[in-house]
Amino acid sequence: MWVNQERTRIGDQLRRSDADNRAIGGTLNLNALWSKLGTFSVSYNDDRRYNSHYYTADYYQTVYSGAFGSLGLRAGIQRYNNGDSSANTGKYIALDLSLPLGNWFSAGMTHQNGYTMG
């Protein structure tokens, strides 16, 4: 279980925006019940600056883990309100790839909803 609070006030010197967020969530390791299961996570995020709320639930499963890196599969659902708009629901499936590049550095990549991020 975790709780997070972020409050940022940025002046006019940086190209950043102010932030006022709080979040709470938790993760359940299902691997303790059966070795082939992954993790289930839920979270709630309240962005008070933009009056947005997010509820997220997802399941993560390691598909491969070895000397050449690891590959994981993540599937989830998110319900969100942006400002005063009505609630929307989004579903996603993501592949997470992590490559070890020595003892002090690793690189990763995720692909979700047609977008790739590294």
Please state which of the ranges 56-70, 79-93, 96-110 shows the lowest mean pLDDT.
Answer: 96-110
Residue 26 has pLDDT above 70, yes or no: yes
Number of domains in the chain: 1
Please state which of the ranges 16-20, 95-99, 106-110 shows the lowest mean pLDDT.
Answer: 106-110
Q: Which domain holds residue 51?
A: 2-117
Q: Strand order in 52-66's β-sheet?
A: 2-8, 19-29, 39-47, 52-66, 69-81, 88-100, 106-112, 115-117
